[in-house]
Every structure is written in structure tokens, then in C-alpha cells.
Amino acid sequence: KRSESEYDRFGAAHSSTSISAALGMAAARDLDHKNHNVVAVIGDGAMSAGMAYEAMNNAGHLGNRLIVILNDNDMSIAPPVGAMSAYLSRLISSKSYRSLRHVATQVAMKFPRPLAQAFKRAEEYARGMITGGTLFEELGFYYVGPIDGHNIDHLLPVLRNVRDAKSGGPVLIHVVTQKGHGYSPAEQSSDKFHGVGNFDVVTGAQNTKRSNAPSYTSIFAKALIKAAREDDKIVAITAAMPSGTGVDQFAVEYPERCFDVGIAEQHAVTFAAGLATQGYKPFVAIYSTFLQRAYDQIVH
């Protein structure tokens, strides 16, 4: 929220909006002939939404100076990180490497166009093979990482290199972190600390009042499981909210008939429609506020 910090320049509701908003700010900066940096931070979960890739695709096309920090705390994207990875990240983000790369690119442009393009692709793929960032390079981003986000000695030099770089174009810094790092209860049960109330600091136990009455979520889950036992065409779909919707309980009983599509509500609804055309009976469990994103798909 912008009211919480002077460094929060945009108020977000749904996830996956940061790159789009930051790109708009970067475009405005360039129209105003200013030279400050614009930084967007996005999590690996939020990167599963199509909007993030729409923004990255547009950023690569526009070529505005933009820094995106990918906070990857699920280890779903990153290869192992360590000293060698940190060294490579410092190297490819350094001024000397980027200057050498610029000179090499200028030289390559003296050759016939097919050769120049081949050189560019070879350099990008070689760097991508080392760092794992080929996907982002294809979208037009200069990829740096992965970096251990908990090792400040590794992280700060990379951030400074990217901050001070004079070359244009979008840059993505891939930072690997651990949910709840340094606090054992949160490390062991990261999903329980996504949103918390009062809790015991020593044990991590949350002081929540439990009702004797069953929740709507548990009733829904049990009813869906019961129906699925009688009808093998019933499937369940969630958009990155399995525990909040009760679909996780369905997944225990019928893992092959349960689909978590990530933060992709539009896809979830149309994916369900595709299943329905083939005779299946999909149940799409999405919070009402998130379902707003899929309204057009529901109408269609």
C-alpha cells in the first residue's frame, strides 16, 4: 500500500500486477526525460499468471529501462545456488562484462545480418545455459541470477551493478529465498504463516478460536468427494488456493482428477469448459474476489 511506505508506489489488489504497473512508470519516466530506476518485485507464485508474461513480453518489445526482481521462494524455478552462481551473477551484471558485450555486439553488426543475429542468439543461449534464464532472455530481458537472497554479500553487488548500468532495456534479477527464513516454525509450516493473527513467538502456535461447527469449506470438500465416488467424471479445479477452497482434500482422494492451475483464474474457467465439452463435470473452486478476473470467460 502506498500509505504504508514511501517506497510503495502502487497499490495492488490482485496478484501479478507489479510488472505492468512498473512498465507504465518506466514509460512515463522516459516520456518525461528523467533517468531514475523503476523496480518491480514479483513472487514465483505470481509469475504463474498470464498478466505477468503479457507485461514482460511488452517490456521486451518497448525496451524501456526496467528492473524486475523475481523473489523465488518455492524453489520451483531455480537450480541450486551457491558461490559459483553468485560469482556468475556478479560477472554478468558487472559494468565490464556488459561493456565487453556491447563492444562485441557492435562488432557483430559489421557482419552480414544473418551472422550478426546468429552471434546474438549464441551469446544469449550460452549465458542462458549457465544461468538458467533463457526464457526471460527470449522475452527480451537481460537475466541475472539466481542469487541467494539471504546472502547480503552476494546480493548487494548485483543490485548495485544493475542500478549503475547505463545500458537500456529491461533486466530481471532472479533471487532465491526461503519462506520464513530464520524462524523455525515458519520454515517448517510456511503455509500457516501466509496470513497470521496472534501467535506464540516461541512455538509458533497461532491463537485461533476454533468453532465446533464445520466450516463451509470442509462441507464443500466432503460433498464433492462423496459425489466423485459416485461419478468418475467429476473433477476439481483450483487457482492456487487448494487449502482455502477445500480442493486439497479432494486431491488426497483423487489426485489425477484434481488440477491446480496456478494464479490463472481465466485459464481455470476456460480449462473447465474444455473438460466439459468432453463429458466431464468440472467444479471450479475460486474465491469470489478472484473470480472477477474470469468474468468474461464465465459469460462466454
Q: What is the pLDDT of residues 286-295, one digit of tens each?
A: 999 999 989 9
Residues carrying an active site annotation: 179, 265, 293
pLDDT at residue 176 greater than cutoff 80: yes
Do 50 and 162 reside in the same domain of the chain? yes
Residue 35 lies in a domain: yes
Q: What is the pLDDT of residues 237-246, one digit of tens each?
A: 999 889 899 9
What range defines the domain where residue 267 resides?
A: 216-287
Band (90; pLDDT cuts 50, 70, 90): low
Band (85; pLDDT cuts 50, 70, 90): very low
Residue 80 pLDDT: 42
Residue 55 lies in a domain: yes
Mean pLDDT, rounded, of the chain: 80
Residue 148 pLDDT: 87
Average pLDDT over residues 196-211: 72
Do 56 and 171 reside in the same domain of the chain? yes
Residue 224 lies in a domain: yes
Residue 125 lies in a domain: yes
| Distance between CA atoms of residues 280 and 235, nearest Å | 7
Do 151 and 238 reside in the same domain of the chain? no
| Choice between 63 and 74, residue whose per-residue pLDDT is larger | 63
Q: Where is average pLDDT lowest: 112-126, 147-161, 256-270, 279-293? A: 112-126
Residue 174: enclosing H or E segment and its boundaries?
strand 170-176
**CB-hemisphere CA count at 13 Å for 244?**
15
Band (167; pLDDT cuts 50, 70, 90): confident
Strands (E) located in 49-100 = 66-72
Do 158 and 254 reside in the same domain of the chain? no
The two most distant CA atoms of the chain are separated, in Å, by 76
Q: In total, how many domains does the chain have?
A: 2
Residue 168 pLDDT: 81
Do 141 and 228 reside in the same domain of the chain? no
Among 176, 195, 229, where does a domain finish?
Answer: 176
Residue 140 lies in a domain: yes
Do 38 and 165 reside in the same domain of the chain? yes
Residue 27 lies in a domain: yes
